[in-house]
Amino acid sequence: MKNSGTATIVKHTGSHYLLSELPLWDPFPAVIRGKLRLSGVKTTNPVAVGDRVEYSFDPKKDDMATISRILPRTNGIIRRSTNLSRESHILAANLDRVFLIVTMILPETKLAFVDRFLLTCEAYGVHPVILINKMDLYEEDCLKEQVEWFEGIYRGAGYRTIEISARRGTGIEEVRELCRDSVSLFSGASGVGKSSLLKALDPSLNPKIGEISVSHLQGKHTTTFYEMHPLSSGGFVIDTPGIRGFGLVDISTEELSTYFPEMMRVMDSCRFKPCTHTHEPGCAVKQAVDEGLISAERYNSYLGMLEEETKYR
Ligand code: GDP
Ligand code: ZN
Protein backbone atom coordinates (compact mmCIF):
# COMPACT_ATOMS: atom_id res chain seq x y z
CA MET A 1 0.00 0.00 0.00
CA LYS A 2 1.30 3.44 -0.96
CA ASN A 3 1.74 6.17 1.64
CA SER A 4 0.16 8.87 -0.44
CA GLY A 5 -1.17 9.60 -3.89
CA THR A 6 -3.96 11.04 -6.00
CA ALA A 7 -7.32 9.32 -6.24
CA THR A 8 -10.97 9.90 -7.15
CA ILE A 9 -13.86 9.89 -4.69
CA VAL A 10 -16.16 7.04 -5.72
CA LYS A 11 -18.54 7.07 -2.78
CA HIS A 12 -19.50 9.27 0.14
CA THR A 13 -21.11 7.47 3.04
CA GLY A 14 -21.61 10.38 5.38
CA SER A 15 -18.92 9.49 7.86
CA HIS A 16 -16.20 8.67 5.38
CA TYR A 17 -15.35 8.50 1.70
CA LEU A 18 -14.24 5.72 -0.58
CA LEU A 19 -11.37 6.55 -2.91
CA SER A 20 -9.99 4.70 -5.90
CA GLU A 21 -7.05 5.46 -8.15
CA LEU A 22 -9.09 5.40 -11.35
CA PRO A 23 -8.99 3.75 -13.82
CA LEU A 24 -8.06 1.15 -11.18
CA TRP A 25 -11.04 -0.04 -9.19
CA ASP A 26 -9.77 -0.77 -5.70
CA PRO A 27 -11.76 1.44 -3.29
CA PHE A 28 -10.33 2.24 0.13
CA PRO A 29 -11.75 4.38 2.95
CA ALA A 30 -10.63 7.91 3.67
CA VAL A 31 -11.64 10.74 5.96
CA ILE A 32 -11.29 14.49 6.00
CA ARG A 33 -9.66 15.75 9.18
CA GLY A 34 -10.05 19.37 10.12
CA LYS A 35 -11.23 22.00 7.69
CA LEU A 36 -10.86 21.45 4.00
CA ARG A 37 -12.45 23.98 1.70
CA LEU A 38 -12.26 24.75 -1.94
CA SER A 39 -11.44 28.42 -2.02
CA GLY A 40 -14.42 30.63 -2.74
CA VAL A 41 -16.99 27.85 -2.63
CA LYS A 42 -19.27 27.60 0.35
CA THR A 43 -20.78 24.15 0.49
CA THR A 44 -22.27 21.88 3.10
CA ASN A 45 -19.94 19.15 1.88
CA PRO A 46 -16.61 20.21 0.44
CA VAL A 47 -16.17 17.24 -1.89
CA ALA A 48 -18.32 14.97 -3.98
CA VAL A 49 -18.16 11.81 -6.00
CA GLY A 50 -15.85 12.42 -8.97
CA ASP A 51 -13.60 14.82 -7.11
CA ARG A 52 -9.89 14.17 -7.50
CA VAL A 53 -8.05 14.44 -4.21
CA GLU A 54 -4.63 13.97 -2.71
CA TYR A 55 -4.48 11.53 0.16
CA SER A 56 -1.96 10.18 2.62
CA PHE A 57 -1.84 7.49 5.25
CA ASP A 58 -1.08 8.32 8.86
CA PRO A 59 1.27 5.61 10.20
CA LYS A 60 -0.70 5.60 13.47
CA LYS A 61 -4.05 5.11 11.76
CA ASP A 62 -3.10 3.10 8.74
CA ASP A 63 -6.57 1.74 8.06
CA MET A 64 -7.92 5.11 6.90
CA ALA A 65 -6.41 7.51 4.42
CA THR A 66 -6.66 11.23 5.06
CA ILE A 67 -7.75 13.54 2.28
CA SER A 68 -5.33 16.45 2.28
CA ARG A 69 -6.23 18.43 -0.83
CA ILE A 70 -8.97 18.73 -3.44
CA LEU A 71 -7.70 19.20 -6.97
CA PRO A 72 -9.37 21.81 -9.20
CA ARG A 73 -12.60 20.66 -10.86
CA THR A 74 -13.36 20.69 -14.56
CA ASN A 75 -17.09 20.88 -13.76
CA GLY A 76 -19.55 20.13 -11.00
CA ILE A 77 -23.23 19.51 -10.52
CA ILE A 78 -24.31 21.66 -7.61
CA ARG A 79 -27.53 21.90 -5.68
CA ARG A 80 -28.44 24.98 -3.73
CA SER A 81 -29.83 23.99 -0.34
CA THR A 82 -32.47 26.70 -0.31
CA ASN A 83 -33.14 29.79 -2.33
CA LEU A 84 -32.38 32.06 0.58
CA SER A 85 -29.12 30.67 1.84
CA ARG A 86 -25.96 30.85 -0.21
CA GLU A 87 -25.13 27.34 0.88
CA SER A 88 -24.85 24.79 -1.86
CA HIS A 89 -24.24 21.11 -2.05
CA ILE A 90 -21.94 19.49 -4.58
CA LEU A 91 -23.50 16.37 -6.02
CA ALA A 92 -20.86 15.23 -8.51
CA ALA A 93 -17.71 16.61 -10.08
CA ASN A 94 -15.43 16.16 -13.09
CA LEU A 95 -17.98 14.47 -15.32
CA ASP A 96 -16.85 13.45 -18.79
CA ARG A 97 -20.41 12.76 -19.92
CA VAL A 98 -23.99 13.26 -18.87
CA PHE A 99 -26.73 11.13 -20.38
CA LEU A 100 -30.34 12.24 -20.23
CA ILE A 101 -32.77 9.37 -20.79
CA VAL A 102 -36.13 10.31 -22.29
CA THR A 103 -39.18 8.40 -23.53
CA MET A 104 -41.98 9.33 -25.93
CA ILE A 105 -44.60 7.41 -23.94
CA LEU A 106 -44.82 5.53 -20.65
CA PRO A 107 -43.99 8.12 -19.44
CA GLU A 108 -43.94 10.95 -21.96
CA THR A 109 -40.95 13.20 -21.26
CA LYS A 110 -42.02 16.83 -21.54
CA LEU A 111 -39.88 19.21 -23.58
CA ALA A 112 -39.89 21.73 -20.73
CA PHE A 113 -38.24 19.12 -18.54
CA VAL A 114 -35.67 18.27 -21.21
CA ASP A 115 -34.83 21.92 -21.79
CA ARG A 116 -34.50 22.67 -18.11
CA PHE A 117 -32.19 19.68 -17.69
CA LEU A 118 -30.04 20.62 -20.68
CA LEU A 119 -29.81 24.20 -19.47
CA THR A 120 -28.72 23.07 -16.00
CA CYS A 121 -26.01 20.85 -17.45
CA GLU A 122 -24.73 23.57 -19.80
CA ALA A 123 -24.57 25.96 -16.84
CA TYR A 124 -22.47 23.40 -14.98
CA GLY A 125 -20.15 22.96 -17.93
CA VAL A 126 -21.32 19.66 -19.40
CA HIS A 127 -22.94 19.03 -22.77
CA PRO A 128 -25.34 16.10 -22.42
CA VAL A 129 -26.19 13.25 -24.79
CA ILE A 130 -29.88 12.37 -25.08
CA LEU A 131 -30.87 8.71 -25.04
CA ILE A 132 -34.34 7.98 -26.43
CA ASN A 133 -35.32 4.78 -24.65
CA LYS A 134 -38.13 2.24 -25.23
CA MET A 135 -37.69 2.43 -29.02
CA ASP A 136 -39.37 -1.00 -29.14
CA LEU A 137 -42.65 0.70 -28.21
CA TYR A 138 -42.66 3.23 -31.07
CA GLU A 139 -43.70 1.02 -33.98
CA GLU A 140 -46.85 3.00 -34.76
CA ASP A 141 -46.52 5.76 -37.35
CA CYS A 142 -47.55 8.56 -35.02
CA LEU A 143 -44.93 7.51 -32.47
CA LYS A 144 -42.26 7.16 -35.15
CA GLU A 145 -43.11 10.71 -36.20
CA GLN A 146 -42.90 11.87 -32.62
CA VAL A 147 -39.36 10.46 -32.34
CA GLU A 148 -38.39 12.20 -35.59
CA TRP A 149 -39.88 15.48 -34.38
CA PHE A 150 -38.05 15.21 -31.06
CA GLU A 151 -34.74 14.36 -32.70
CA GLY A 152 -35.17 17.21 -35.17
CA ILE A 153 -35.48 19.68 -32.31
CA TYR A 154 -32.53 18.46 -30.27
CA ARG A 155 -30.14 17.53 -33.07
CA GLY A 156 -30.89 20.95 -34.52
CA ALA A 157 -29.95 22.48 -31.18
CA GLY A 158 -26.62 20.67 -31.28
CA TYR A 159 -27.27 17.64 -29.11
CA ARG A 160 -26.44 14.07 -29.96
CA THR A 161 -29.44 11.76 -29.67
CA ILE A 162 -29.23 7.97 -29.64
CA GLU A 163 -32.20 5.67 -30.09
CA ILE A 164 -32.06 2.81 -27.63
CA SER A 165 -34.11 0.03 -26.13
CA ALA A 166 -32.90 -1.25 -22.80
CA ARG A 167 -35.35 -4.14 -23.22
CA ARG A 168 -34.19 -5.25 -26.69
CA GLY A 169 -30.56 -4.19 -26.37
CA THR A 170 -30.81 -1.69 -29.23
CA GLY A 171 -28.11 0.99 -29.16
CA ILE A 172 -26.56 -0.37 -25.97
CA GLU A 173 -23.18 -1.00 -27.58
CA GLU A 174 -23.03 2.61 -28.74
CA VAL A 175 -23.69 3.85 -25.20
CA ARG A 176 -21.12 1.40 -23.81
CA GLU A 177 -18.58 2.78 -26.25
CA LEU A 178 -19.24 6.35 -25.06
CA CYS A 179 -18.82 5.27 -21.45
CA ARG A 180 -15.45 3.61 -21.98
CA ASP A 181 -12.56 5.58 -20.47
CA SER A 182 -14.89 8.13 -18.93
CA VAL A 183 -17.00 8.99 -15.94
CA SER A 184 -20.64 9.27 -17.02
CA LEU A 185 -23.67 10.44 -15.16
CA PHE A 186 -27.11 9.01 -16.01
CA SER A 187 -30.26 10.92 -15.33
CA GLY A 188 -33.91 10.87 -16.31
CA ALA A 189 -37.39 11.10 -14.89
CA SER A 190 -38.61 8.11 -12.95
CA GLY A 191 -39.87 5.29 -15.16
CA VAL A 192 -37.86 6.08 -18.30
CA GLY A 193 -35.77 2.94 -17.80
CA LYS A 194 -32.61 4.22 -16.18
CA SER A 195 -32.06 1.15 -14.02
CA SER A 196 -32.93 -1.13 -16.93
CA LEU A 197 -30.37 0.67 -19.09
CA LEU A 198 -27.63 0.49 -16.47
CA LYS A 199 -28.27 -3.22 -16.05
CA ALA A 200 -28.26 -3.66 -19.84
CA LEU A 201 -24.90 -1.89 -19.97
CA ASP A 202 -23.51 -4.21 -17.33
CA PRO A 203 -25.62 -7.02 -15.90
CA SER A 204 -23.18 -7.38 -13.01
CA LEU A 205 -24.04 -3.92 -11.66
CA ASN A 206 -25.43 -4.00 -8.17
CA PRO A 207 -29.16 -4.83 -8.37
CA LYS A 208 -29.81 -1.86 -6.09
CA ILE A 209 -28.63 0.52 -8.80
CA GLY A 210 -31.36 2.88 -9.91
CA GLU A 211 -33.05 2.87 -6.55
CA ILE A 212 -31.47 5.99 -5.18
CA SER A 213 -31.85 5.64 -1.46
CA VAL A 214 -28.42 6.65 -0.27
CA SER A 215 -29.78 9.64 1.53
CA HIS A 216 -29.73 10.56 5.16
CA LEU A 217 -30.94 13.42 7.23
CA GLN A 218 -28.39 16.04 8.04
CA GLY A 219 -29.90 18.75 10.19
CA LYS A 220 -32.97 19.98 8.33
CA HIS A 221 -31.66 19.13 4.88
CA THR A 222 -31.96 15.79 3.21
CA THR A 223 -28.65 15.05 1.63
CA THR A 224 -28.29 12.66 -1.25
CA PHE A 225 -24.93 11.16 -1.98
CA TYR A 226 -24.16 9.81 -5.38
CA GLU A 227 -22.06 6.75 -5.98
CA MET A 228 -19.81 5.64 -8.80
CA HIS A 229 -19.94 2.14 -10.24
CA PRO A 230 -17.41 0.49 -12.57
CA LEU A 231 -18.66 -0.90 -15.89
CA SER A 232 -17.15 -4.24 -16.87
CA SER A 233 -16.77 -2.92 -20.43
CA GLY A 234 -14.77 0.07 -19.15
CA GLY A 235 -15.58 3.42 -17.64
CA PHE A 236 -17.56 4.45 -14.59
CA VAL A 237 -21.17 5.45 -14.13
CA ILE A 238 -22.97 7.65 -11.62
CA ASP A 239 -26.67 7.17 -11.16
CA THR A 240 -28.84 10.17 -10.18
CA PRO A 241 -32.44 10.73 -9.16
CA GLY A 242 -32.97 13.30 -11.89
CA ILE A 243 -33.13 17.01 -12.31
CA ARG A 244 -35.47 17.63 -9.40
CA GLY A 245 -32.53 16.70 -7.22
CA PHE A 246 -30.45 19.38 -8.90
CA GLY A 247 -32.69 22.27 -7.94
CA LEU A 248 -32.48 25.72 -9.40
CA VAL A 249 -29.42 27.24 -10.91
CA ASP A 250 -28.57 30.85 -10.40
CA ILE A 251 -28.63 32.18 -13.95
CA SER A 252 -29.10 35.81 -14.86
CA THR A 253 -31.46 36.74 -17.68
CA GLU A 254 -28.48 37.93 -19.75
CA GLU A 255 -26.71 34.61 -19.32
CA LEU A 256 -29.70 32.41 -20.06
CA SER A 257 -29.39 32.32 -23.85
CA THR A 258 -25.69 31.46 -23.65
CA TYR A 259 -26.74 28.04 -22.37
CA PHE A 260 -28.78 27.37 -25.49
CA PRO A 261 -26.04 26.16 -27.88
CA GLU A 262 -28.07 27.02 -31.00
CA MET A 263 -28.62 30.61 -29.78
CA MET A 264 -25.01 30.88 -28.76
CA ARG A 265 -24.03 30.15 -32.38
CA VAL A 266 -25.88 33.16 -33.81
CA MET A 267 -26.22 35.75 -31.02
CA ASP A 268 -22.94 37.39 -31.91
CA SER A 269 -24.79 38.94 -34.84
CA CYS A 270 -27.53 40.57 -32.74
CA ARG A 271 -27.53 44.34 -33.28
CA PHE A 272 -27.85 45.13 -29.56
CA LYS A 273 -25.64 43.70 -26.86
CA PRO A 274 -26.76 42.48 -24.48
CA CYS A 275 -29.85 41.30 -26.32
CA THR A 276 -32.70 39.43 -24.64
CA HIS A 277 -33.77 38.10 -28.06
CA THR A 278 -37.37 39.13 -27.39
CA HIS A 279 -38.21 42.58 -28.76
CA GLU A 280 -34.90 44.04 -29.99
CA PRO A 281 -34.66 45.02 -33.65
CA GLY A 282 -31.96 43.25 -35.63
CA CYS A 283 -31.99 40.21 -33.33
CA ALA A 284 -30.16 37.31 -35.01
CA VAL A 285 -31.83 34.76 -32.74
CA LYS A 286 -35.35 35.85 -33.69
CA GLN A 287 -34.31 35.85 -37.33
CA ALA A 288 -32.99 32.28 -36.97
CA VAL A 289 -36.31 31.26 -35.40
CA ASP A 290 -38.21 32.85 -38.30
CA GLU A 291 -36.02 31.02 -40.78
CA GLY A 292 -36.54 27.73 -38.95
CA LEU A 293 -32.86 27.42 -38.01
CA ILE A 294 -33.78 27.53 -34.34
CA SER A 295 -36.82 25.48 -33.40
CA ALA A 296 -39.90 27.30 -32.19
CA GLU A 297 -40.18 24.81 -29.35
CA ARG A 298 -36.73 25.63 -28.00
CA TYR A 299 -37.28 29.35 -28.43
CA ASN A 300 -40.57 29.12 -26.55
CA SER A 301 -38.82 27.22 -23.76
CA TYR A 302 -36.30 30.04 -23.63
CA LEU A 303 -39.07 32.64 -23.37
CA GLY A 304 -40.74 30.63 -20.60
CA MET A 305 -37.53 30.42 -18.61
CA LEU A 306 -36.82 34.09 -19.17
CA GLU A 307 -40.20 34.96 -17.71
CA GLU A 308 -39.64 32.65 -14.75
CA GLU A 309 -36.24 34.17 -14.05
CA THR A 310 -37.59 37.70 -14.29
CA LYS A 311 -40.45 36.98 -11.92
CA TYR A 312 -38.12 36.34 -9.02
CA ARG A 313 -35.93 39.36 -9.49
P1 GDP B 1 -36.25 3.93 -13.91
O2 GDP B 1 -37.32 4.39 -12.96
O3 GDP B 1 -35.88 4.99 -14.86
O4 GDP B 1 -35.08 3.32 -13.25
O5 GDP B 1 -36.96 2.83 -14.84
P6 GDP B 1 -36.90 1.23 -14.78
O7 GDP B 1 -35.62 0.72 -15.34
O8 GDP B 1 -37.32 0.76 -13.43
O9 GDP B 1 -38.04 0.92 -15.86
C10 GDP B 1 -39.37 1.37 -15.73
C11 GDP B 1 -40.27 0.45 -16.55
O12 GDP B 1 -39.96 0.60 -17.93
C13 GDP B 1 -40.07 -1.01 -16.22
O14 GDP B 1 -41.31 -1.65 -16.27
C15 GDP B 1 -39.16 -1.50 -17.33
O16 GDP B 1 -39.34 -2.87 -17.61
C17 GDP B 1 -39.64 -0.65 -18.50
N18 GDP B 1 -38.58 -0.46 -19.52
C19 GDP B 1 -37.32 -0.07 -19.34
N20 GDP B 1 -36.65 -0.02 -20.52
C21 GDP B 1 -37.53 -0.37 -21.47
C22 GDP B 1 -37.47 -0.51 -22.90
O23 GDP B 1 -36.44 -0.29 -23.55
N24 GDP B 1 -38.61 -0.88 -23.54
C25 GDP B 1 -39.78 -1.14 -22.87
N26 GDP B 1 -40.84 -1.51 -23.58
N27 GDP B 1 -39.87 -1.02 -21.53
C28 GDP B 1 -38.78 -0.65 -20.83
ZN1 ZN C 1 -30.85 38.84 -30.01
Question: 207 C-alpha vs ligand 1 centroid, how far in Å?
Answer: 14
Please write the tens of the pLDDT for every residue from 54-69: 999 977 766 889 998 8
Please write the tens of the pLDDT for every residue from 153-191: 999 999 999 999 999 999 999 999 999 999 999 999 889
**311 by DSSP, 3-state: which?**
helix
Q: CB-based contacts of 2: which residues, under 8 Å, 6+ apart?
A: 57
Among 101, 196, 198, 205, say which to mutate for ligand 1: greatest number of ligand atoms within 8 Å of CB.
Answer: 196
Q: Report the C-alpha gap between 68 and 56 in whole angstroms.
A: 7
Could you write out the DSSP letters of every residue in 192-233?
SSHHHHHHHH-TTS-TTTT----EEEETTEEEE--BEEE-TT
Residues near ligand 1 (Cβ within 6 A): 133-134, 136-137, 165-167, 188, 190-196, 210
Closest CA to ligand 1's atom 15: 193
Nearest to 13 by CA among 34, 27, 26: 27
Question: 253 C-alpha vs ligand 2 centroid, how far in Å?
Answer: 13
Q: Report the C-alpha gap between 4 and 111 in whole angstroms.
A: 47
Q: Which ligand is nearest to the CA of 299?
A: 2
Atom of ligand 1 nearest to the CA of 164: 23
The 8-class DSSP code of residue 189 comes to -
Q: What pLDDT does residue 135 have?
A: 98
Partners of 163 in the beta sheet?
Answer: 132
Q: What pLDDT does residue 44 have?
A: 58
pLDDT beyond 60 at 222: no
Torsion of CA 200, 206, 210, 212, to 10 degrees: -170
pTM: 0.90
pLDDT beyond 60 at 90: yes
Please write the tens of the pLDDT for every residue from 24-47: 999 999 998 776 655 555 555 678
pLDDT beyond 70 at 224: no
Q: Which residues surround ligand 2, an ion (CB under 5 A)?
A: 270, 275, 277, 283, 285
Question: 184 C-alpha vs ligand 1 centroid, how far in Å?
Answer: 20
